[in-house]
Chain A
Amino acid sequence: MNAASWGWLVLLFPLLGSIFIGLTFRRIPPKAAGLVGIAAIAAAFICGIAAVISLQGEPAESRHVADSLWTYASVGGLSIDLGIYVDPLSAFMVLVVTGVSSLIHIYSYSYMKSDAGYHRFFSYLNFFVFSMLLLVLAGNFVLLVVGWAFVGFASYALISYWYRREAATRAGMKAFVINVVGDIGLVLAAILIFRELGVIDYGAVFEKAPEVFTTTNEWTAVAICLLLLVGAFAKSAQMPFHTWLADAMEGPTPVSSLIHAATMVTAGVYLVARAHPLFELAPAAADVAAIVGLVTLLVAGTIAIVVTDLKRIIAYSTMSQIGYMFVAVGIGAYSAGMFHLMTHAFFKALLFMAAGSVIAAMANIQNIDRMKGFYKAMPFTAAMLIIGALALSGFPGTSGWFSKDEIIDFAAFRGGWYEIFAIGGYIGAFMTAIYSFRIIFRILPGPPCEEAAHLIETGHVVHGEPVNPATGEKEDIEVGYPGEDHHIAEQAMGMKIGMSVLGFLALVGGLVQIPGVTEVITHFLEPTFEDSPLAAMHPTVAEAWKGLAKGAVISVVGIAFTWWLYIGRPSVPETLRRTFSPIYTLFINKWYGDEIIDFLIVKPVKGFGRFANNWFERYAIGGLTNGTIAIVRSASGAVRDLQTGMLRGYALLMAVGTVAILLYFLIRGL
């Protein structure tokens, strides 16, 4: 079996899982549905490993397999295949996606146990994994767009999973609309690619591109890359398409963990890495990617420092870390970016899982101002939180340390104006340490809050009222609402397993990419990036270690500073807030991102829509449509009137028709 066959199996299992659970939802018990879902993704993971093994069996130059199931359409010179492309980059993404997904499925098995829509959840989750794998394995730009769109839909379905909550459905629609804007960019890019290069398969496109775009920064190449970036930014919640990610936290925690931390939001990064030959022909666009990543990194970091909703802090952290990844693939540190993608998946998913556990203990209250003293109440969750925060801040030894600094080192190495990425990266790292340990120092130590106390004393989680925490409305426990019971990690096996594995990986995951010692990922991804001059550049091992040292210092200093802020001098944050209150207001309102978009885009569009409805629709379109309807109706009446039912009438019409044809021919023949 060659790598492509394994690739097809990777796609097949989650799809089958989703369809199976979807069709049998009334007939199989919830547990069975959960197990099927887990098994499907686990099977996909195993096939991913098999694909990697079979890929590594090939010599480096031929480590890419393109395979097509059938040609879907061959119209006008364009041949669209249902084809996949298996190479180290896609195999890497497959492993990350399926690996982290299986752990999250195991976590959800326990976390969602009392939810009435259990089957629906697993069906959607499996479908999401299928779509993400389709996006990653697609072998041409058309199938990429298909996978992209499916992922958008799956995200919408899962964000508005508790569909009786208005906030959830609104958040789902917001995510979907912004994603669609990205989709449009992607489709336009695909159209331009086809128009300029005449092909849409990856292999063919990347071969032809240097022949067609002979000078760098030709405007069509830049346009294509910018349109690809529009799609990437919308999917990965970078500025200015970032406003949906915070609201997407309305979805259940496993959803936030899988989609909005580990997989879907990394699709943009994957896209830029995949299309790197195009970006290298249009370095202006690559720089745009890096700059946007940098801006997002910093802005999101500032917001995370002040927000008080636990899941939103982690969401903004995700936005910030993905900014790092965009910086990486924008400046040419492709394997560094993918490495950070992998480690981020580990510790961010872990953080969300732990957050889910805490929120469950708090009976669905997500405000960190209310949480205190969980160190004693939930030791396991606390440990996981700390591990996640350490990895996120880049504490020496953790995976985050290696991955984040590799990016910053490369930026410094490239020199010139790229130094600002290094500087920004360090500032961001400092902020990261602050906001991650802000969480730790706020909710773990100290006297237990009410819910934590209840947990310590009775060993049971507080049984909250089924009430929407945002609006306070009383909810049902039927489908479309979260269930009554909440599950915490200490008491649920599935959650424990998922979190432990991720915690372990978050700690030791960095060891695969120790500069100068192991460089597994760089070597693994080499065949994909071998045509890139940028990927060949490497900081020396000594410089790498110097960078790591700098990173370690910043991380430790940041943690210490945070400790001082929240534990040493707890009154300081309040004073800071008052003195810098305009800045604080700016941060807490998310830099007015939502308001700006509302003003710049939503209001004009709505106004235009009203105008179009009142004038254009009513008179122009309405007139045209009604006119056409009238014509068609009268024609219909005429045809039916001709059909008198009289035989001789039919014969007469036939005679008329025959005579007409004969006259035509006779006149022609003359």
Chain B
Amino acid sequence: MAIEWYLVLSAMLFSIGFAGVLVRRNPVVVLLCLELMLSGGALAMLSFSRLHGDGDGQVFVLMVLVVAAAEVVVGLGLVVAMFRRRIPLDVDEMKELRG
């Protein structure tokens, strides 16, 4: 298959993830959408790696997966802290800081 398909798929993943961040209100779901965005990027990276016959992209993707995991850990930690303090798990409710 030509590389364009993979690139289109990765773009779609990225956009769906971004749209999810824009639309969804539950922080855990937002974290999930962030993962989607990162996966989109990773997919693009992999396809280019295959195109060039280079291993760099694949190594990069491994790193990206680790980083994504770390990010989610911290995010979930913050979400748990929110939950413990009885703050409703709604991203729209967090607007004390504004202006």
Contact = CB atoms under 8 A, between A and B. Distances in A.
Interface of A: 640, 643-648, 651-652, 655
Interface in B59-99: 91-92, 94-99
A651 B96 CA distance: 17
Contacts of B97: 645
Nearest to B30: A647
Nearest to B97: A645
Contact of A645 (B22, B25, B96): B96
Given A652-B22, A655-B22, A647 B91 contact: yes
Contacts of A644: 95, 98
Contacts of B23: 648
A443 B16 CA distance: 104
Contacts of A646: 91-92, 94-95, 98
A643 B21 contact: no
Nearest to A639: B99
B48 interface: no
Given A645-B95, A646-B91, A646-B92, 18 more contacts: A640-B99, A643-B99, A644-B98, A645-B94, A645-B96, A645-B97, A645-B98, A646-B94, A646-B95, A647-B92, A648-B21, A648-B22, A648-B23, A648-B25, A648-B91, A651-B22, A652-B22, A655-B18
A120 to B, nearest CB: 49
A651 B99 contact: no
Contact of B94 (A643, A647, A652, A655): A647
Nearest to A644: B98
Contacts of B98: 643-646
* Interface secondary structure of A, over-half rule: helix
B8 to A, nearest CB: 15
Nearest to A647: B91
Interface of B: 18, 21-23, 25, 91-92, 94-99
A656 to B, nearest CB: 10
A468 to B, nearest CB: 58
A651 B94 CA distance: 14
B52 to A, nearest CB: 21
Contacts of A640: 99
A647 B98 CA distance: 10
A643 B25 CA distance: 18
30 contacts: A640-B99, A643-B98, A643-B99, A644-B95, A644-B98, A645-B94, A645-B95, A645-B96, A645-B97, A645-B98, A645-B99, A646-B91, A646-B92, A646-B94, A646-B95, A646-B98, A647-B91, A647-B94, A648-B21, A648-B22, A648-B23, A648-B25, A648-B91, A648-B92, A651-B18, A651-B21, A651-B22, A652-B22, A655-B18, A655-B22
B30 to A, nearest CB: 8
A587 B22 CA distance: 89
A655 to B, nearest CB: 6
A640 B97 CA distance: 12
A26 to B, nearest CB: 46
A655 B18 CA distance: 8
Contacts of B22: 648, 651-652, 655
A302 to B, nearest CB: 74
A647 B96 CA distance: 11
A80 to B, nearest CB: 45
A644 B96 CA distance: 9
Contacts of B21: 648, 651
A597 to B, nearest CB: 57
B27 to A, nearest CB: 9
A647 B24 CA distance: 11
Contacts of B96: 645
Contacts of A652: 22
A592 B63 CA distance: 90
Contacts of B91: 646-648
B37 to A, nearest CB: 11
A647 B97 CA distance: 10
- 6 pairs of A and B residues whose beta carbons are closest in the complex: A645-B98, A645-B95, A647-B91, A640-B99, A651-B21, A651-B22
